Amino acid sequence: MIPWLLRRVLSALLLVCLLMTAVFFIVRLAPGDPLDQVVGNELTDADRDLMRRKFQLDEPLSRQFLSWAGGVLTGDLGESLGRQQPVAAIIGEVLPPTLLLTVSAYVLQLLLAVAAVGVMVRWRGRAPEHWVQGVGLVFYSLPAFWLGLMAIMLMSRWLGWFPAAGLHATDYPFMSGPDRALDLLRHMFLPVTTLALGTFMGTARYLRAGVEEALGQDYILAARSRGLGRGRILGHALRNALLPIITLVGLHLPFLLGGAVVTEVVFGWPGMGRVTVEAIWARDYPLIMGTTLVAALTVVAGSLLADLLYRWADPRVRPERGMSGS
């Protein structure tokens, strides 16, 4: 177990190193000068030289890379070109909203998937199954950014039920505790629902396969022969099928993070995804590298967690075989 874990961690870290090296050079070799985008053209040549020296943009690429990597090892992610703020501080600010968004959306889509599978299995071959399948397929096929825009159009511009963008209302600092919680929930509702609606059918498909398999097992036959009701039996099967899916939460991370980029852009959600998109536009090298590194670390840690949880939930998976990937 321990050597396996060690090997797994080392290979994950190697993966992150390779990825970051690749991203570093892709970003630097791409055309565009960060100083043009960052501060406009009012800069004098002397100022530019000063900035270049400060951010080491005048040094050879290999040197820049080594100094960046050295910084990371000592916990220093550098300073953002555009915001004149340490990258670590920016990430510390935008990571919590993204986690809030993705974790809530993950839980909601799991609940939706369980409900959908419950209906599909309970009314197999009849109208409710087809309806759930149809609705799920449509949500699965909608562009997430468009679904978000439609939600904004209907629920906030037209009906005025929910705010259209952001994390807090402008008078948030003056609110009392319960009002703050309510305000946050109101801001979360549309982005979280949009993200969950777009993803639940993918989970439901896996879950359904698991439930169908579980329903064929002996313990279900035993439960049935003891005269348990349909609902209870379905509950047993669902619980057993759900465990492996939850343990795979780590493997969902890339998709959730990807979906969060879209959702954050549409809803003006101050999270990692939106900051990354803005940093790419501004050629803010240190910030791009910082958010990419955090995303890569999160995803790699997630897949490691998935392996560990899966082993814990299903001891039949043997250590030397090592499950990997989707």
Partner 1 sequence: MMRRAGFLISVGLILVSALGPLVLSQDPTALGPVELGLQAPTWSHPCGTDVHGRDVLLRLVHGGRVSLLVGWLSVVVAVTLGATVGLAAGLGPRWLDRPLMYLTDAFLAFPRIFLVLLLVSLISPSLWLVMVVLGLTGWMGVARLVRAETLSLRERDFVHAARGLGLTARQVAVRHVLPNLLPTILVAAALRIGGTILTESFLSFLGLGAQAPTISWGAMIQEGRDHLLDGWWLTVFPGLAIALTVVGYNLLADDLRRRMDPRADEEAGS
Q: Nearer Cβ to partner 1, position 233 or 253?
A: 253
User: Considering only residues 180-199, where is the footprint of partner 1 by CB under 8 A?
Assistant: none
Q: Which stretch binds partner 1 (CB under 8 A): 53-61, 220-228, 277-285, 305-313?
A: 277-285
Q: Does 126 bind partner 1 (CB under 8 A)?
A: no
Q: Does 116 bind partner 1 (CB under 8 A)?
A: no
Alpha helices in the chain (DSSP H): 2-29, 34-39, 45-54, 61-73, 87-122, 127-141, 144-151, 177-215, 218-225, 230-247, 249-267, 272-281, 285-313
From the list 295, 306, 310, 311, which residue makes contact with partner 1 (rule: CB under 8 A)?
A: 295
Q: Nearer Cβ to partner 1, position 19 or 228?
A: 19
Cα Rg of the chain (Å, integer): 24
Q: Which stretch binds partner 1 (CB under 8 A): 84-92, 101-109, 147-155, 232-240?
A: 147-155
From the list 276, 287, 306, 311, which residue makes contact with partner 1 (rule: CB under 8 A)?
A: 276
Minimum distance from residue 28 beta carbon to partner 1 (Å): 9
Q: Does 217 bind partner 1 (CB under 8 A)?
A: no
Q: Could you tell me the CA-to-CA distances from 68 to 28, 29, 64, 65, 79 in Å, in that order?
A: 13, 16, 6, 5, 11
Residue 79: φ, ψ to 5°: -120, 140
**Cβ contact 165:101 at 8 Å:** no
Q: Does 94 bind partner 1 (CB under 8 A)?
A: no
Q: Could you tell me the CA-to-CA distances from 21 to 17, 61, 62, 206, 235 in Å, in that order?
A: 6, 11, 10, 35, 48
Cβ contacts of residue 75 below 8 Å, gap of 6+? 88
# residues near partner 1 by CB under 8 A: 52
From the list 189, 205, 220, 235, which residue makes contact with partner 1 (rule: CB under 8 A)?
A: 205
Q: Does 211 bind partner 1 (CB under 8 A)?
A: no
Q: Does 297 bind partner 1 (CB under 8 A)?
A: no
Cβ contacts of residue 33 below 8 Å, gap of 6+? 283
Helix (H, G, I), strand (E, B) or coil at 79: strand
**Cβ contact 101:191 at 8 Å:** yes
| Residue 86 bridge partners (DSSP) | 79
The residue ranges that bind partner 1 (CB under 8 A) are 11, 15, 18-19, 23, 26-27, 30-32, 137-138, 140-147, 149-150, 152-153, 157-158, 202, 205, 209, 253-255, 257-258, 261-262, 265, 276-277, 280-281, 283, 288, 292, 295-296, 299-300, 303, 324-326
